[in-house]
Amino acid sequence: MTLLDVKNVSIEYTTEAGVLKAVDDVSFSLEVGESVGLVGESGCGKTTLAKSIMRLLAKNGSVSTGQMLFKGEDLVTKSDEEIRQLRLNEIAMVSQSAMNALNPVYTVGDQLVEGIMTHTKMTKKEATDRAIEVFRMVGLEAKRLKSFPHQMSGGMKQRAIIAMALTLNPSLIIADEPTTALDVVVQDRILQQIIQIQKEINSSMILITHDISVVSETCETIIVMYGGKVMEKAPTRIFFKTPAHPYSLGLNNAFPSIHEIGEELISIPGAPPNLMDEQNGCRFQERCPFKTETCETKVPELEEVAPGHFSACHYNDQVESFREACKKRETWELVRDRMIEERKRGVS
């Protein structure tokens, strides 16, 4: 059953310098109980997309086109009050460095109980019991409810935040880089706990991260975004075995692995496009080794390359040869040379 169906959504920020199209015509859907990893570089629109689902965009940002059907109802057209009702009850978010968002002058327990009472009809006693229960689920002792944020470590605060998000068994959890600021041992434990709880309460999850290895360990589906567009969507296992889009192929080369000896990393030359500029054609063209004239003018659509595996490239039929070519350093050196040539033309 489909829980969330995002259809052709574009999101724009109005700035003094003009309109920035942070998300451009993105569609994807999420089944009940499914976990999706949304990955991409900074500025690719992944956080914007997630925030828009809960209507938490900055004031200058808005969904310009498209629909977001949550349990069949369009979130985009709902009133603020209706969205407020959904928050925490139905959709909960664990945001980036949310641990710094705790109010320093209240105990975490008070903040948790307040949240529960605002969104339900529970009495204080019931809310407190529920708080103790969710604290246990995330591995915190009940006495921690009486702690102030400064008395807790980063990991504990992040756990408290996760507990808050999960208190009302939401159908959708949006976790935006939930463990980025934490040490690797803590990160691993917390991710495991999130997954476990998500499975227990059978909610769906969107996990936003820049680290594809985290997705590999936690999510069933992966969506790769670049420059405000979805480049590839696939079941995680298939993605890591046979990535299809040139950008994903490049990402795989650039990722150091702890277990491989003598590997050679190859980066993708260049940087993501500036979304303030008018975008024509494929967003990745500038850094793509296989760019042609078509790529400069025509926007590639997501095409199914294998069951459940979608890639937005004009040359999906050549994926086999791309895959081979992408493993070679020379392929990417050509892109670098092309960029240097272009800059030289600019200098002279």
**Residue 19 or residue 265: which is nearer to other proteins going by CB?**
265
CA atoms of 52 and 76, how far apart (whole Å): 9
Please name the residue ranges forming H helices in the chain: 46-53, 80-86, 108-119, 124-137, 154-166, 184-200, 212-218, 236-241, 246-254, 293-297, 319-326, 329-347
Single out the residue of 210, 137, 200, 148 nearest to residue 179, CA to CA: 210
**Residue 129 or residue 211: which is nearer to other proteins going by CB?**
211
β-sheet bridge partners, residue 13? 20, 61
The distance of closest approach from Cβ of residue 261 to other proteins in the complex, given in angstroms and rounded to an integer, is 5
Name residue 97's amino acid.
Answer: S
The distance of closest approach from Cβ of residue 344 to other proteins in the complex, given in angstroms and rounded to an integer, is 5
Instruction: Determine the 3-state secondary structure of 251 from DSSP.
Output: helix
Residue 81 near residue 101, CB atoms below 8 Å: no
The distance of closest approach from Cβ of residue 185 to other proteins in the complex, given in angstroms and rounded to an integer, is 5
Residue 289 near residue 331, CB atoms below 8 Å: yes
Query: Would you tell me how many other CB atoms lie within 10 Å of the CB of residue 298?
Result: 13
**Residue 72 or residue 256: which is nearer to other proteins going by CB?**
256
The distance of closest approach from Cβ of residue 253 to other proteins in the complex, given in angstroms and rounded to an integer, is 7
Residues that bind other proteins (CB under 8 A): 41-42, 153-156, 183-189, 192, 210-214, 216-217, 236-237, 240, 250-259, 261, 263, 265-269, 271-272, 340, 343-344, 346-347
**Residue 100 or residue 267: which is nearer to other proteins going by CB?**
267
**Residue 197 or residue 212: which is nearer to other proteins going by CB?**
212
The distance of closest approach from Cβ of residue 287 to other proteins in the complex, given in angstroms and rounded to an integer, is 8
**Residue 56 or residue 186: which is nearer to other proteins going by CB?**
186
CA atoms of 285 and 294, how far apart (whole Å): 10
The distance of closest approach from Cβ of residue 29 to other proteins in the complex, given in angstroms and rounded to an integer, is 22
